[in-house]
Structure 1
Amino acid sequence: MSERDVVTDGRSDGTGTGATVTDEVVRVEGISRTFGRGEHAVHAVRDVSFSAGRGELVAVRGRSGAGKTTLLNMVGGLDRPDEGRIVVAGHDVTGAGERKLLELRRGTVGFVFQTFGLVPILSAAENVGVPLRLARVPAAEREERVAVLLELVGLGAHAAQRPYELSGGQQQRVAVARALVNEPDLLIADEPTGQLDSETGRSIMDLLRAVVHARGMTALVATHDPTLIDLADRVLTLRDGRLVDG
Structure 2
Amino acid sequence: MSEPLVVVDGLRKVYRSGPKEVVALREVSFQAFPGELIAIRGRSGSGKTTLLNQIGGLDRPDAGRVVVAGEEVTAMSEDALLALRRDTVGFVFQSFGLIPVLSAAENVGVPMRLARTPVEEREKRVRMLLALVGLEQHVNQRPYELSGGQRQRVAIARSLANRPRLLIADEPTGQLDSQTGRQIMQLIRALVRSEGVTALVATHDPSLITLADRVLEISDGVVQEAALLQDS
Q: Tell me the secondary structure at the aligned position of residue 80 of structure 1.
A: coil
Please, which of 93, 96, 108 is the counterpart of residue 113 of structure 1? Answer: 93
Q: Which residue of 2 aligns with 1:84?
A: 64
- What is the CA–CA distance in structure 1 between the aligned matches of 2:18 and 2:110, rounded to whole Å? 43
Q: Which residue of 1 aligns with 2:132?
A: 152
Q: Which residue of 1 aligns with 2:42?
A: 62
Deviation of 1:244 after TM superposition, in Å, equals 2.9
Q: Which residue of 1 aligns with 2:29?
A: 49
- What is the CA–CA distance in structure 2 between the aligned matches of 1:53 and 1:90, rounded to whole Å? 12
- What is the CA–CA distance in structure 1 between the aligned matches of 2:95 and 2:198, rounded to whole Å? 21
Specify every segment of 5 or more residues in structure 2 that has no aligned partner in the other structure, as ranges: 227-232
Q: Which residue of 2 aligns with 1:162?
A: 142
User: 1:125 aligned to 2:113?
Assistant: no
Q: Which residue of 2 aligns with 1:4?
A: none
Deviation of 1:88 after TM superposition, in Å, equals 0.4
List per-residue Cα deviations over 1:71-98 (Å, max 9, x = no partner): 0000000001110010001111000000
List per-residue Cα deviations over 1:37-78 (Å, max 9, x = no partner): 674111011100000000100000001111000000000000
* Structure 2 CA distance for partners of 1:37 and 1:122, relative to 1, 3 Å: closer
List per-residue Cα deviations over 1:210-244 (Å, max 9, x = no partner): 00012211000000000001100000000000013
List per-residue Cα deviations over 1:144-174 (Å, max 9, x = no partner): 0000000000000100000000000000000
Off by >2 Å, runs of 4+ in structure 1: none
TM-score between both structures, scaled by the size of structure 2? 0.95
- What is the CA–CA distance in structure 2 between the aligned matches of 1:238 and 1:39, rounded to whole Å? 25
> In angstroms, what is the RMSD of aligned CA positions?
1.0
Contact 2:2 2:34 in 1 (8 A): no
Q: Which residue of 2 aligns with 1:3?
A: none
Q: Which residue of 2 aligns with 1:13?
A: none
Equivalences for residues 1-246 of structure 1 within 5 A? 20-21=2-3, 24-36=4-16, 39-246=19-226
| Stretch deviating more after TM superposition (155-164 or 32-41) | 32-41
List per-residue Cα deviations over 1:179-220 (Å, max 9, x = no partner): 001110000000000000000000000000000012211000
Contact 2:108 2:157 in 1 (8 A): yes
- State the number of aligned residues: 226
TM-score between both structures, scaled by the size of structure 1? 0.90
Q: Tell me the secondary structure at the aligned position of residue 169 of structure 2.
A: strand
Q: Tell me the secondary structure at the aligned position of residue 172 of structure 2.
A: coil
- What is the CA–CA distance in structure 2 between the aligned matches of 1:31 and 1:198, rounded to whole Å? 33
